[in-house]
Amino acid sequence: MTDTYEVFALRYATNPARRAGENFLFPDDHAAPMPIDYYVWAIRNAARTIVVDTGFGPAAGERRGRALLRHPTEALRQIGIDAATVSDVVLTHLHYDHAGCMADFPAATFHLQDAEMAFATGRCMCHRVLRFPMELDDVLTGVRMVYAGRVRFHDGTATLAPGITLHRVGGHTGGLQVVRVATARGAVVLASDATHFWANLRTGNPFPLVADIAGMLEGYRICGELADGPDHIIPGHDPLVLQRFPPVAGAADAVRLDLPPLA
């Protein structure tokens, strides 16, 4: 029998002023409000704890007009995880809202796709629209982590631990990876920005921030193949995640993704 895990989505920031037009590439009801939430995720069993993404801190939030509800490390602390002792952090990609607080994980090895570091440090960053969601300081921190021997690079599919695999999907950035986790209800896929909202995937209408639209559409298919059902694909920014899954007692804006969705 393979290991199974508890899986948590932890909201740390929100942007209630977001409009639907900012969330879909092709025309939708552009003026309608469609708030966006920001999460980090955690995977845990008796043997190990793995954090997925590090979120952004107060300075980046202020620069970009995003309300920080709590520091990502505080969101982790609420479920009993001390960022200072976490040994493994998966960076799904290097955007500011996913890779902003690496320094707060002093004991961690960071798991990243080769293609994502190439994307964040190469010719694609000559283009403003691709550069905009990156914070240069985060990318420089990532490079420093490489030189400090604290990055484990992956190229495509990799096994992180029994029951936890990484899968590169293209699309949103050059080397975004999703995380597949074995749970008591089957395989859950932390899709991160492979799909920001369930609606992007369901309608096949991508989020506008896309490096390669064919890769993004293929990513939807790959997530579908990896997950044990539509409810097992967890989008990166959807406020519905907090409504659909059982809350964690004593922790604000925290839900259990390894438990069946609420009716």
**Residues at the contact surface with Zn ion, assessed by CB under 5 A:** 95, 97, 193
Cβ distance to Zn ion smaller for residue 82 or 137: 137
Angle between helices 136-147 and 114-121 (to 10 degrees): 130
- Chain position whose Cβ is nearest to Zn ion: 95
Cβ distance to Zn ion smaller for residue 8 or 38: 38
Name the minimum Å distance from CB 201 to Zn ion. 15
> Hey, what amino acid is at 66?
R
Name the minimum Å distance from CB 96 to Zn ion. 8
Hey, what are 105's tokens? 């994980």
Output the CA torsion sign for 172, 98, 65, 200: positive
Rounded Cα–Cα distance for residues 25 and 16 (Å): 19
Cβ distance to Zn ion smaller for residue 4 or 205: 205
Asked whether the beta carbons of 101 and 72 are under 8 A apart, the reply is yes
Rounded Cα–Cα distance for residues 88 and 150 (Å): 10
Name the minimum Å distance from CB 133 to Zn ion. 6
* 158 SS3 class: strand
Name the minimum Å distance from CB 91 to Zn ion. 11
Distances (CA, A) of 205 to 16, 139, 213, 233: 21, 29, 10, 16
Please, which residues bridge with residue 10 across strands?
40, 254
Name the minimum Å distance from CB 53 to Zn ion. 8
Cβ distance to Zn ion smaller for residue 95 or 232: 95
Hey, what are 149's tokens? 């021997």
Cβ distance to Zn ion smaller for residue 182 or 201: 201
